[in-house]
Amino acid sequence: MGLILCREESVTRPLYIESLEVRLYSSYELCYFIYHFPLLALDHFLDDDLLRFLREDLDLGHLAAKLERGADMGEAPEGLLVAVLQECEYFTQREVDQFQKQLDVYRSLNEADYAKAKADAYVKRGQQKKAAILYEQMLKLTGKPYDRPKWRGEVWAALGAARARMFAFESAMEALDHAYKYLQSGDILKQMYVLTILEPTLTLDPGYMEIIGVAQIARWDQEVGRMQDEVRGDDKWGQIGEMDETAVDALLESWKQEYRSV
């Protein structure tokens, strides 16, 4: 992003978008959110709360009026997003042009690819549970855009990754197993093997172990070992180094429960 001077704004009531779990305190934050999460902004954009925020907190009543007129005239939501970026001038024209091109790409997607891109955006925001729910809903749909093997495999893989980030390792393994059947990907086998390290009660099917091979497993063990050493060396995890094995297991289990309830 180019160097743009920020407006001076004193916001007492942030714009809260409940479904996205986000509070926006300035026009800069509003533009940042729109620019980096356009698919989510499209679903949760023009409403009374936004118009109030523009008028009363950001002193941008003229922009609120412009958005209302555009909506009344049937202007596409994408055009309203661009209008906000252009009005606030936090992004260069080149960046706005790139943003418009990305919107064109999204508009060209079929409904299945669009739905996955939207769920992927929730993953990017760290809302794993919301993304997982959307992935699960997609996999229940049938019809031409939803029955493509590659698409279904990619959605199962994304669902597995989202569940793993919530420490729901068993259901993550189930999702990745489905994904592998569609994609036959070595990367998915690697994710499944790593899950058996994170959750020792999980095991890989002997057929998968045969496909992976002893040499590859040894390489993955070394890679995971290096990652574990890096984590142990991080100051944020210093408390773990002072615990006995039972205490560490209890702490990890508590984290799993916390994430499962997110």
| DSSP secondary structure of 202-240 | ----HHHHHHH-HHHHHHHHHHHHHHHHHHHHSGGGHHH
Q: Are residues 85 and 125 in the same domain?
A: no
Tokens at residue 10, please?
A: 């004193």
pLDDT at position 241 over 80? no
DSSP summary character for residue 73: T
Among 60, 82, 107, residue at a domain's last position: 107
Tokens at residue 153, please?
A: 């495999």
Tokens at residue 101, please?
A: 């091109």
Q: Are residues 33 and 122 in the same domain?
A: no
Among 107, 123, 156, residue at a domain's last position: 107
Tokens at residue 228, please?
A: 């574990």
User: Which pLDDT band holds residue 240 (cuts at 50, 70, 90)?
Assistant: very low
In a domain, 96, yes or no: yes
Model pTM score: 0.82
Q: Are residues 161 and 244 in the same domain?
A: yes
In a domain, 20, yes or no: yes
Please report the sign of the dihedral spanned by the C-alpha atoms of residue 254, residue 244, residue 170, residue 138: positive
pLDDT digits over 188-220, tens only? Answer: 999 999 999 989 999 999 999 999 999 999 999
pLDDT above 70 as % of the chain? 84
| Structural domain boundaries, residue 191 | 111-260
